[in-house]
Copies of this chain bind each other. A is one copy, B any other.
Amino acid sequence: MEGLWFTEIHGKSSGITIKVKDVLKCVKTKFQTLKVYDTEDYGKLLTLDDIVMTTEKDEFIYHEMIVHVPLFSHENPENVLIIGGGDGGTLREVLKHKTVKNVDMVEIDEEVVNTSKEFFPNFAKAFESPKANVIFDDGIEFVKNKKAKYDVVIVDSTDPINVGEGLFTTDFYKNCYNILKENGILTNQSESPFHSPEWVRSIYEKLNRAFPIVKMYRAEVPTYPPGIWSFGFCSKVTYPVENFQKNRFNEYKLKLKYYNEEIHKAAFALPNFVKELI
C-alpha cells in the first residue's frame, strides 16, 4: 500500500480506502474544505470536509435514484427545486424529464459548482440548460415563506453535521412541505441504516412530523458507508409504487445505468433491521 491513499472512516473505526493518483484541487471555501482527487478505481473523486461526495465511476447510482424515483412518481413534474447538489449530477438527471420546465438549484457554496465545471464535465454540462436556474444561497433560508410552487423538491445534501445540519430539521422539512404543490413530492438522502442508525431514526422522526406520507427507499452506493444507502420519499398524497408513471417511463426510453421500473418498486422493500429503525 505505497503511495497516497484517501481513507474515510465510517462508524467508529472502519471505512473505505482509495488509492490517489493525483491531488487536483485542495481549497478552503467560505463553508468547507473541498478536494478533488484523481483515482485509479473511481476516476475523479470530490470530497467536502474529507467526506466523499461523488466519484465519476459510481455517481450514476446515487443521482439516478434520488431523481428518477420522485420524478417518475409524479404525474407531471414541471417545476423542481434542488437544495444542494452543487456538483450538477442531480440537475443533469432532472433535466432528462421532458415535462420539466424549470429547475431552481440552491447551492450554498459557489465553489462546488465552479469545481464541477472545472473537473466534472459529465455533471457540469447540465448548468448550460436554459431550464436550469442556479441560485447561490442558503437552502434553509430559501425555503422560508415561499408560496406552494414546486412539484418536486430534492434535498441533495451533505451529512447532518457542519454546513448540512440545518437541512435535517423538522422546521426545514415543514418549509419544504409548504413550498410544494398539493401533489408535491420531496426526496432526500437519508444516510446509512447500517452505519448511522441514530441519524436515520432521527431523520425519519422529523420527516414524519412534516409529511403525511413518508417512505424509505434504498440503493447501494459503493463509496458511501457500506451496506444500504437510504433515501426519504415524502409526499402530500402520492404513494411511489402505486403511482409509478409507466407510460412516461416507457415513452422516454432513458439510457440509465441503474434505475428501471423493477428497481423503482423493489427499492421500497426494506430489510427487517431497517424497518425496525423507522
Contacts and interface: CB of A to CB of B under 8 A. Distances in A.
A7 B1 contact: yes
Interface in A79-124: none
Interface string A232-276: 000000000000000000000000111110110111111111010
Interface string A6-19: 01010111111111
B13 A16 contact: no
A72 to B, nearest CB: 14
A17 B19 contact: no
Contact of A18 (B13, B228, B262): B13
Contacts of A270: 262-263
Residue of A9, A17, A194, A228 with highest tally of chain B CB at under 10 A:
A17
Interface in A1-43: 1, 7, 9, 11-19, 39-42
Nearest to A227: B222
Contact of A226 (B16, B263, B266, B271): B16
A22 B13 CA distance: 14
A257 B273 contact: yes
Given A58-B194, A256-B272, A272-B260, A41 B16 contact: no
A262 B58 CA distance: 26
A73 interface: no
Given A226-B226, A272-B259, A14 B1 contact: no
A252 to B, nearest CB: 14
Given A7-B17, A14-B19, 18 more contacts: A1-B7, A12-B19, A13-B39, A13-B40, A14-B18, A14-B41, A61-B227, A61-B271, A195-B222, A220-B226, A222-B227, A226-B226, A257-B271, A259-B271, A259-B272, A263-B271, A266-B266, A266-B269
The 4 A-B pairs of least Cβ separation, nearest first, read A266-B269, A13-B19, A266-B266, A262-B269
Interface of A: 1, 7, 9, 11-19, 39-42, 58, 60-61, 194-195, 218, 220-223, 226-228, 256-260, 262-263, 265-273, 275
16 contacts: A1-B9, A12-B40, A13-B39, A13-B40, A14-B16, A14-B40, A15-B16, A15-B17, A17-B17, A58-B227, A61-B271, A194-B222, A222-B227, A263-B269, A263-B271, A266-B266
